[in-house]
Amino acid sequence: MLNKYARAFFTRVLTPFAAFLIRRGVSPDTVTLIGTAGVVAGALVFYPRGEFFWGTVVITLFVFSDLVDGNMARQLGRSSRWGAFLDSTLDRVADGAVFGGFALWYAGSGDDNVLCAVSIFCLASGQVVSYTKARGESIGLPVAVNGLVERAERLVVSLVAAGLAGLHAFGVPGIQYLLPIALWAVAVGSLVTLIQRVVTVRRESAEAEAAEQQQALGSEADR
């Protein structure tokens, strides 16, 4: 739902800004690199110190680069395999930094080994969820399932919870528990999504192999 509706909305909103950058001679790849650097810095500088509110503010400012660079490429008519590869690769780097920042906090001053482990699981499962789709498509399968929790959901749930949890430093009581709840929700949702995609790939693989065998039998019968 987030990919379908929110992405379309923000794409329209950010189109004038993308056009402005193009007029200034900025390339889509530059925006991708700067955006990723900003997300990584925000996550690894602020989150390990427990500064969730300001870390989320910084990350949010840069995370929209994921929409701006693609918008710029479309306006320039330069959509390319390299651009898609770079964008997808750096998305994984940014995701790893966010959940790595949470893990560092809970491994250090946050002093909670269980939530540290949950954060690491969110990091790893997010990478694997993306890999299952990419790998399935690389062997010729459609992988016709999105799953319960995709990248947009993982980021929105985690960042919103982190930002709100950061308000505890400003005197809002009890709100710090939102982040642990969100991490558990993302972990469970990622596991469900991973299972959905693995089951889908297994089914599509069996169907493809059955179709190939049927085609081979048909070819032999025609001889």
pLDDT digits (tens, 9 = 90+) for 112-156: 999 999 999 999 999 999 999 999 999 999 999 888 898 889 999
Distance in angstroms (rounded) separating the CA atoms of residues 36 and 52: 18
> Looking at residue 84, what is its pLDDT?
84
Distance in angstroms (rounded) separating the CA atoms of residues 194 and 33: 28
- pLDDT of 220 > 80? The answer is no
**Given the structure tokens 């329209």, which residue do they identify?**
12
Name the least confident of 6-20, 47-61, 85-99.
6-20
User: Is 31 annotated as a binding-site member?
Assistant: yes
- Using 50, 70 and 90 to split pLDDT, how confident is the model at 2? low
Enter the pTM of the model: 0.88
- Using 50, 70 and 90 to split pLDDT, how confident is the model at 205? very high
Third-level CATH fold of 1-222: Four Helix Bundle (Hemerythrin (Met), subunit A) (1.20.120)
- Using 50, 70 and 90 to split pLDDT, how confident is the model at 70? confident
Report helix angle 81-107 to 65-76, nearest 10. Answer: 180
User: Is 30 annotated as a binding-site member?
Assistant: yes
Mean pLDDT computed over 40-66:
93
> Looking at residue 146, what is its pLDDT?
80
Mean pLDDT computed over 197-209:
94
User: Is 111 annotated as a binding-site member?
Assistant: no
> Looking at residue 33, what is its pLDDT?
94
> Looking at residue 3, what is its pLDDT?
57
What would the two tokens of residue 141 be? 């399968």
Contact 96, 127 (CB under 8 A): yes
Which residue numbers are catalytic?
A: 91
Query: Domain limits of the chain?
Result: 1-222
> Looking at residue 15, what is its pLDDT?
86
> Looking at residue 128, what is its pLDDT?
95
User: Is 66 annotated as a binding-site member?
Assistant: yes
